[in-house]
Chains A and B, each alone.
Chain A
Amino acid sequence: MLAGGGSVCDLDALDAPDIGAVLDTSESMAEVLCRPIPRVPALRGRTVMLLFYEASTRTRHSFELACKALGADSLTLSAATSSVAKGESLRDTMRTAAAMGADLVVLRHPASGAAHYAAALGLVPVLNAGDGTHAHPTQALLDLFAVRRRTGRLEGLRVCIVGDILHSRVARSSAAAFVKMGAALTLCGPPTLLPRAAGPALGAAVEYDLGAALRGADVVMVLRLQHERHDDGAGGLPSLGEYRRGWGIDAGRLLRHCPGALLLHPGPVNRGAELSDEVLDLPGAVVQDQVAAGVAVRMALLYRILEGGRGAE
């Protein structure tokens, strides 16, 4: 899948060995990042266009750092400050990227399926950096990477994802990734934000009671409450207090149900919103590991897409 300059829109086409190979390449990249001069010229002369139709700080910076570390040129096109704001269609923007000689487009877009659409144009390979509520494959891979580094394994882990599953591309991609790697997955959240269909769609158990969901978990992933996506007026979330009553993560709940579990959060953390203030200081909180892992994993994906998966060493 990653060989031959293909696009990566989600993790559907990757099986466990593919994912394992990306994680192994990521280890090599992490080693590069630990050197005094964290640079390898593996992608020198290559141009990566970062096309961001949606606000993003860490993902965009993470990709920019990954490009720099590999010697690739990156240029960033933000929707608010470009021809996109003048009404240019995604199709025409992709044509522009191709005409500029981009070797790869990293696309962040508010519409689910935008990466598939852009990739299907066949102009430039696309690496999905988040599309609507559909997929965020690099986030899922960095979650796997951060967890594997701490636990040494993924198979057999009990993973619990808590929060607004319905509106979360991170939940969809990370859930798919953990399940592919043999983890047992439980999804937990308010019934209005966790449809029953999520279980069969992702191969996961659905549990509305937080205590039952957390019990015995090895990994707890807490999702950000996406206020910007609760625009359907359907009353999916009456209030923050109502949410915290049922699904707020605090140290007491974690220590009671799953002491020693790793705590993941895709960021940005609304400290004191879906997570209580103190949990980020628990030893199991690996949020900063995730950020660091992000650069290495994105380097690995850029490298494998642009160089067809030949070894990174």
Chain B
Amino acid sequence: MIALRGGRLCDPGAGWDGPADVYLAGGLVAAVLPAGAPAPDGCWQAVPCDGLLLVPGPVDALCRVSLQPDPWREDVRSAAAAAAAGGYTAVLAYTGSADPAQIAALAAMSGLPVRLHPVAALTRAGALADLGLLADAGAVAFSDWPEPPPDAGLMRRALEYAAWVGRPVVAHPEDPGLARGGVMHEGTVSFALGLRGVPAAAETVAVARDAALQRAFGGRLHFAALSCGDSLPLLSGATAAVTAHHLGLTEDAVRGYDAAAKLRPPLRTDEDRRALLAAALEGRLLLASGHDPHLPADKDREYDYAAAGASALETALPLALGLLGPQAFVHAASRLPAAVFGLAGGTLAPGRPADLAAFAPDEEWPVDPAGFASRGRASPLAGRVLRGRPAFTCVDGRLVRGRAAAAPAGVADPDATTA
């Protein structure tokens, strides 16, 4: 039984935006009361939250998780630790696995500092994966991300079948023919750098195709991550996410050949960035981290040869919070992901799961990948100063000192101030 006192609660789903005391009991929200109001009956462990921003638990809508045991690569536990350090309470773990036993094992993992929702493979060897068995095992969605989408015929079948199973299909909008060999956004910067480009059309063509398939054949379609403003009018009935990197950075991050800025989809123009930011501010896009970590040896090398993808779990929420402001941030990071993937969170109304995150909204901190809990140490934000820092999270009503556990120096410890 925890009482979070004195923070500012931003929970548009419950109509809250102001000082509040939040009471958690039995893994659920027991009550949300105006700050200083008399506590409900019971024995509450008080956690002072003065100066902190409390939000319903953020859910990462796009995070790659490897099921291969390898002590040097990101695994489920290191990814979960990174997510907790980054202020997440739940993660959609894109496994690429079509094995129901693996998905079931992942769904049943205990002792993690975040909730882990497995995303299973959509296809296997050019045919549909066992979507029903995978759903039974705990898969909340199906996706081949970051592999390119299947051909249109198979995508049609996937949408139809997944609809019957009652799960969304997450498409990676990238036309393989147009994207082939590309390592950054195609434009004047790619030309000047002599790097092969991925044209914006590689995304818009794929978005238009899959949106048309959904109109024709039904199903729930979600796009893993958009990078182009021109994709927005093509979404039709589909939902889509944008990564914090794509809200905060442009192709200019690639100048100087920083392989940490080699992402998939690539960082694009400032016009694209502004269009995506405007859409996120209007509540039309989910926020995702797009966490896709690699071994240092695969990132710290010639840009052309480096793997695409970066470590994002520990920077995505602070970066997005600064860009979106609390209301739009909660909508994009907490409410929409819960709604699109059918999860129980998204708001802190009484009776909902006691998942929330606390941020120190004014704290400025330099991004130093060497201090990441993630084993992926490549970040295009390295060296930048971000404003707003995760303080702690609560998952299922329990305090998680994600960053304090990962990097103890100079971090407030909410347990030290119990009443």
Spell out A's residues near B (CB within 8 Å).
Answer: 89-91, 109-114, 116-117, 120, 131-135, 166, 169, 172, 195, 197-198, 200-202, 232-234
Q: Is the CB of A91 within 8 A of B257?
A: no
Indicate if the CB atoms of B187 and A109 lie closer than 8 Å: no
Query: A residues within 8 A CB of B399?
Result: none
CB–CB A117/B301 < 8 A: yes
Q: Are B194 and A114 in contact (CB under 8 A)?
A: no
Q: Decide if A113 touches B304 in the complex (CB within 8 Å).
A: yes
The docked-state distance in angstroms from the alpha carbon of A116 to that of B180 is 24
Chain B residue with Cβ nearest A116: B257
B417 contacts the other chain (CB 8 A): no
Flag if A172 contacts B192 (CB, 8 Å).
Answer: yes
- Find out whether the CB atom of A134 lies under 8 angstroms from the CB atom of B191: no
User: Which residue on chain B has the smallest CB distance to residue A132?
Assistant: B194
Q: Which of B186, B189, B194, B196 contacts A131 (CB 8 A)?
A: B194
Complex Cα distance, B126 from A270, in Å, reads: 44
Question: Do B304 and A197 touch across chains, with their CB atoms under 8 A apart?
Answer: no
Nearest-Cβ distance from residue B211 to partner chain A, whole angstroms: 26
Q: B-side binding surface: helix, strand, loop or mixed?
A: loop
Taking the closest CB of chain B, its distance from the CB of A236, in whole angstroms, is 12
Q: Are A172 and B194 in contact (CB under 8 A)?
A: yes
* Most A C-beta atoms less than 10 A away, residue of B186, B192, B301: B192
- CB < 8 Å: which of A89, A110, A169, A201 contacts B301? A89
Chain A residues whose C-beta falls within 8 Å of the C-beta of B257 in the assembled complex: 112-113, 116-117
Which residues of chain A have C-beta atoms less than 8 A from B164's C-beta? none
Q: Is B195 within 8 A of A112, CB to CB?
A: yes
Among B256, B300, B302, which residue has the most Cβ atoms of chain A within 10 A?
B302
| Distance A111 CA – B195 CA, assembled complex (angstroms) | 9
Q: With A90-B301, A91-B301, A172-B192 in contact, is A116–B256 under 8 Å at CB?
A: yes
Contact B191 A114 (CB under 8 A): no
Which 7 pairs between the two chains have the least Cβ-Cβ distance?
A134-B194, A113-B257, A112-B194, A133-B194, A111-B304, A111-B302, A201-B188
- Are B181 and A201 closer than 8 Å at their CB atoms? no
A112 touches B193 (CB 8 A): yes
Q: Which residues from chain A contact B181 at a C-beta distance below 8 Å?
A: 232
A197 B193 Cβ-Cβ under 8 A: no
Q: Which residues of B contact A120 (CB under 8 A)?
A: 256
Asked if A200 contacts B188 (CB within 8 A), the reply is yes
Instruction: Map CB proximity to A onto B192-230 as digits: 1 under 8 Å, 0 otherwise.
Output: 111110000000000000000000000000000000000
Contact of A135 among B186, B194, B196 (CB under 8 A): B194
Name B180's closest neighbour in chain A (CB-CB): A232
Indicate if B305 sits at the interface (CB-CB under 8 A). yes
What are 5 of the A-B contact pairs (CB < 8 Å)? A109-B302, A113-B193, A133-B194, A197-B186, A200-B188
Give 1 or 0 for each of B295-322: 1 = CB within 8 Å of chain A CB: 0010011111100000000000000000
Give chain A nearest CB distance to B305 CB in angstroms: 6
Bound-complex Cα distance A109 to B257 (A):
14
Q: Beyond A109-B302, A198-B191, list 10 extra A-B contacts (CB 8 Å).
A: A90-B302, A111-B302, A117-B257, A117-B303, A135-B194, A166-B191, A172-B192, A201-B188, A233-B180, A234-B180
B191 in complex: contacting residue of A113, A201, A233, CB < 8 Å: A201
Chain B: CB-nearest residue to A231: B181
Q: How far is the CA of A211 from the CA of B256 in the complex (A)?
A: 37
B175 to chain A: closest CB distance in Å? 13
Q: Which residues of A contact B300 (CB under 8 A)?
A: 91
Tell me the smallest distance from the CB of A78 to a CB of chain B, in Å: 18
Interface string of B255-266 (1 = CB under 8 A from A): 011000000000
B191, B193, B256, B300 interface centre (most CB from chain A within 10 Å): B191
Give B297's nearest chain A residue, CB to CB.
Answer: A89
A131's nearest neighbour on chain B, judged by CB, is B194
Cα distance A112–B194 in the bound complex, in angstroms: 6
What residues of B have a CB within 8 angstroms of the CB of A112 in the complex?
193-195, 257, 303-304
- Chain A nearest CB from B393 CB (Å) reads 37
Nearest residue in A to B182 (C-beta to C-beta)?
Answer: A232
B302 and A134 contact, CB distance less than 8 A? no
Determine the distance from Cα of A41 to Cα of B260 in the docked complex, in whole angstroms. 44
- Chain B residues with Cβ below 8 Å from A133 are 194-195
